[in-house]
Amino acid sequence: MNIYVLMKRTFDTEEKITISGGQINEDGAEFIINPYDEYAIEEAIQVRDAQGGEVTVVSVGNEETEKQLRTALAMGADKAVLINTEDDLDYGDQFTTAKILSEYLKDKDADLIIAGNVAIDGGSGQVGPRVAELLNIPYVTTITKLDIAGSNATVVRDVEGDSEVIETTLPLLVTAQQGLNEPRYPSLPGIMKAKKKPLDELELDDLDLEEADVEAKTKTIEIYLPPKKEAGKVLEGELADQVKELVNLLHTEAKVV
């Protein structure tokens, strides 16, 4: 089975984000594999082990992304591909990423493509579905279980506190939700093997793409941190009086009613 994982490099979830000049300050920041993409990598490895085949992890980013790709290889992926856009693009959005990935994947005869449900930095959840649309293959988002039998797949997906069971066929793109599996930690032997596994680096020219082909469809106007949370208030007195005061505070201070 030919399996591809779409991976993104994101800020460490423990990292304290700061804003400088209207942009997120990356100086000295720690980066990791997007946590939802870890579920995707783990699922791809488990499917390969059960069905046979090969797992290739693909990422659009800069040369620093190689570290996260090596981690994916250490987890057990077979190959990695970095599509380096550092010298070609000043700015990109979800359309940009999806266009690049789909152009790379269009002739790869992928049976299964797995992405994370969302990236923790942007949180749009658009890249996976956009790639599937551009490749003209079915997709299922926020999955919590995946069973494959031949060319058929049964998928359980998370829907607002409940579950939905979907039957579909390969080729297929799915996006991984928390609970799909328990991602493994790279072992020492895995880390050593990862150093010898293939990691290819491509640029837009290698995909016959020009900057105009992947020009962003959106523009970020402003980035800002949420307002500092103020201390809460404890209401006292009779219940009826507390309710009246609460409604008044929600109207005059919180301005939500």
Least confident of 34-38, 45-49, 82-86, 215-219: 215-219
Lowest mean pLDDT among 41-45, 122-126, 211-215, 252-256: 252-256
In the structure, what pLDDT confidence band is assigned to residue 161 with cuts at 50, 70 and 90? confident
Strand partners, 148: 153
pLDDT band at 57, cuts 50/70/90? very high
Pair of tokens at residue 144: 């919590």
Region of 208 (left: φ > 0; alpha: ψ -120 to 50; beta: rest) is: left
Interatomic CA distance for residues 24 and 224, integer angstroms = 9
Provide the pLDDT confidence category of residue 166 given band limits of 50, 70 and 90: very high
- For 134-141, what is the mean pLDDT? 97
Q: Domains plus CATH for the chain?
A: 2-214 (3.40.50.620), 227-257 (no CATH)
User: What confidence score (pLDDT) does residue 231 get?
Assistant: 79
Hey, CA dihedral for 134, 151, 165, 44, is it positive or negative?
negative
Q: Are 223 and 24 in contact (CB under 8 A)?
A: yes
Mean pLDDT across the stretch 74-78? Answer: 97
- Judge whether 59 and 41 are in contact, CB under 8 Å: no
Over residues 176-201, the pLDDT tens digits come to 999 999 999 999 999 999 999 999 99
The C-alpha torsion from 31 through 36 and 38 to 43, rounded to 10°, is: -170
The two tokens of residue 118 are 């969302």
Which residues lie closer than 8 Å to 1 by C-beta, 6 or more apart? 47, 48, 51, 52, 53, 54, 111, 112, 148
Helix or strand (DSSP H, E) at 169: strand 162-169
Mean of pLDDT values over 206-215: 94
Output 256 or 126, whichever has higher pLDDT.
126
pLDDT value of residue 20: 74
Interior angle at CA 53, CA 167 and CA 181, nearest 5: 55
pLDDT score of 219 more than 90: no
Angle between the N-to-C axes of helices 66-75 and 35-51, in degrees from 0 to 180, rounded to the nearest 10: 40
In which residue are the tokens 């607002």 written?
160
Task: Provide the 10 A C-beta neighbour count for residue 38.
Answer: 24
Yes or no: say if 105 and 4 are a contact pair by the CB < 8 Å rule.
Answer: yes
Minimum mean pLDDT among 12-21, 62-71, 89-98, 150-159: which range?
Answer: 12-21
- Interval 5-18 mean pLDDT: 87
